[in-house]
Amino acid sequence: MPKHLILFRHGKSNWGASFSRDHDRPVAERGRRAAQTMGCWLAATPWVPDLAITSSAVRAKTTLDLAMAAGAWNCPTQVMGDLYEATVAAVLEVIHQQPDAYSTLMLVGHEPTWSDTLTYLMGGGMVRMPTAAMACLRFEEDRWTQVGQGRGTLLWLMPPKLLNAVTLP
């Protein structure tokens, strides 16, 4: 059974808010709306995740929570500090640790790691993940440990700006 990996970049953050460290930076109102839009859109696709793992940063956790609530989809979730300021190698390690029973995995995190990870898994090219964008890669693999460089096919990259006409319930 093929594996699908969804990389979801956190929504636009609020640089004007009060926070003591970057890890605690919240999501701006524009980012909140974008996360909700993306959650609704994902619910209408066949790629709702079986498992979602988010960076421990406030803006990433909030983005995932808003998307799930708006789209009314539910899956097990985990918070992982390893996805905050992660390298591509660290992201790959997280992917490799996942149980093979899950066929669609979502990771919620940050730039530039998400663009770099997409490029690595596709085996080249140039990709830029805007805030609150989602990208889905397909792997013709049975096990998450088989996911690696150049093994993924990009199925879609959806930035929220393309969905501005979507109205939230």
Partners of residue 52 on adjacent β-strands: 77, 106
Structure tokens at 131: 């805030």
When pLDDT is averaged across residues 132-147 and rounded to a whole number, the result is 97
Q: Indicate whether this model's pTM tops 0.75.
A: yes
Q: What is the strand order of the sheet 104-109 is part of?
A: 77-80, 51-55, 104-109, 3-9, 134-139, 152-158
Structure tokens at 49: 């995740």
Confidence (pLDDT) at 15: 61
Confidence (pLDDT) at 13: 82
**Quick one: DSSP state of residue 27?**
B
Q: For residue 102, is pLDDT > 80?
A: yes
When pLDDT is averaged across residues 152-160 and rounded to a whole number, the result is 97
Query: 122: part of which helix (H) or strand (E)?
Result: helix 113-122
Confidence (pLDDT) at 52: 98
Q: Where are the domains of the chain?
A: 3-11+24-45+55-98+111-155
- Please, which pLDDT band fits residue 164 given cuts at 50, 70 and 90? confident
Mean pLDDT, the chain, rounded, equals 92
* Domain 3-11+24-45+55-98+111-155 classification at class level: alpha beta
Q: Is 134 helix (H, G, I), strand (E, B) or coil?
A: strand
pLDDT in tens, 6-50: 999 999 886 666 666 667 767 889 999 999 999 999 999 999 999
Q: For residue 128, is pLDDT > 90?
A: yes
What CA–CA distances, in Å, run from 136 to 28, 61, 130, 162?
A: 25, 19, 14, 16
